[in-house]
Chain A
Amino acid sequence: EVQLVESGGGLVQPGGSLRLSCAASGFTFSSYWMHWVRQAPGKGLVWVSRINSDGSSTSYADSVKGRFTISRDNAKNTLYLQMNSLRAEDTAVYYCARAPSVVDYWGQGTLVTVSS
C-alpha cells in the first residue's frame, strides 16, 4: 500500500524557517518524481515544487522560488521541503504527492502556520 506521511509543520513567525519531511513507503521511492502542493485554509490547491527521481532536477512556483528548496534522500525514502523567509501567505496545509506521470497519491498533509 502506497503511504506518504508528512511531518514538520507547525507555528512559525514571519521570516522564520521550517523543514517539512515526507516519508514514503509501499512503492519504489527512487523511481518516482515527487511534488509538494499546498492548500491555504478554505482555499484551493496550489502547486509548490517538484523534483525528479534522482534529485538532479527541481522546479518551483514563482511565489516560493529563492525561499523554498525541495530535496530527497532515496536511501531514506524521504522527501523534504526547506522553507525559509516564511510569510503569512505561506500558511497552508502542505501535501507531498507522488507522480509517475500525473500526481496520483497524496499524503495527509501537514499544517504550516506563519504568524506572530
Chain B
Amino acid sequence: EIVLTQSPDFQSVTPKEKVTITCRASQSIGSSLHWYQQKPDQSPKLLIKYASQSISGVPSRFSGSGSGTDFTLTINSLEAEDAAAYYCHQSSSLPLTFGQGTRLEIK
C-alpha cells in the first residue's frame, strides 16, 4: 500500500499569505497525485489533478507541482473562504489512498 504523508497537519494563517502543503509518497507514483479541499460538513472538491493540472472553476490561486514521491499544493494570496481540510490522493495503484489531511485555519 502506498502511504501518503502530508505536512503540516495543521496551519493557522492570515489572509493574503502564501500557503504550501506537501505530500510525500512512500514510493514513486509518477504524477498520479491529486488534491482535494473539504470544508466543514461538505463533501470533498477536486482542486488539482495529476500533480499540476488545473480544474475548471477552481480559483487560479491554487496550484500544484511535483512528481515521483514529492508533491506540493500552493495557495497564493489566501482568502478567508480557503479555511478547510486539504487531502492528497494517489491513483497510481490499489488500494487507492489519501493523505491524513491538512487543516487550514484562517486567523
Residues of chain A whose beta carbon lies under 8 Å from any beta carbon of chain B: 35, 44-47, 50, 59, 61-62, 95, 101-109
Q: How far is the CA of A50 from the CA of B50 in the complex (A)?
A: 19
**15 extra interface residue pairs, beta carbon distance < 8 Å, beyond A44-B87, A47-B98, A106-B45:** A44-B99, A44-B101, A45-B38, A45-B44, A45-B98, A45-B101, A47-B97, A59-B94, A61-B95, A101-B91, A102-B50, A102-B91, A104-B55, A105-B46, A108-B43
B93–chain A nearest beta-carbon distance, Å:
11
Q: Are B96 and A50 in contact (CB under 8 A)?
A: yes
Q: Are A46 and B98 in contact (CB under 8 A)?
A: yes
The answer, yes or no, to whether B89 is at the interface (CB within 8 Å) is: yes
A92–chain B nearest beta-carbon distance, Å:
13
Q: How far is the CA of A66 from the CA of B94 in the complex (A)?
A: 17
Q: How far is the CA of A28 from the CA of B55 in the complex (A)?
A: 20
Q: Are A109 and B43 in contact (CB under 8 A)?
A: yes
Q: Which single member of B34, B43, B45, B95 contacts A107 (CB below 8 Å)?
A: B43
Chain A residue contacts of B89, Cβ below 8 A: 45, 102-103
The answer, yes or no, to whether B76 is at the interface (CB within 8 Å) is: no
Could you write out 27 A-B pairs with CB less than 8 Å apart? A44-B87, A44-B100, A44-B101, A45-B36, A45-B38, A45-B101, A46-B98, A47-B95, A47-B96, A47-B97, A50-B96, A59-B94, A62-B95, A95-B43, A95-B44, A102-B49, A102-B50, A102-B91, A103-B89, A104-B46, A104-B49, A104-B55, A105-B46, A106-B43, A106-B44, A106-B45, A108-B43
Chain B residue contacts of A50, Cβ below 8 A: 96
Q: How far is the CA of A45 from the CA of B100 in the complex (A)?
A: 8
Chain A residue contacts of B87, Cβ below 8 A: 44-45
Chain B residue contacts of A105, Cβ below 8 A: 46
Using known A-B contacts A44-B98, A44-B101, determine if residue A102 contacts B43 with beta carbons closer than 8 Å: no
Q: How far is the CA of A35 from the CA of B98 in the complex (A)?
A: 14
Q: How far is the CA of A83 from the CA of B2 in the complex (A)?
A: 25
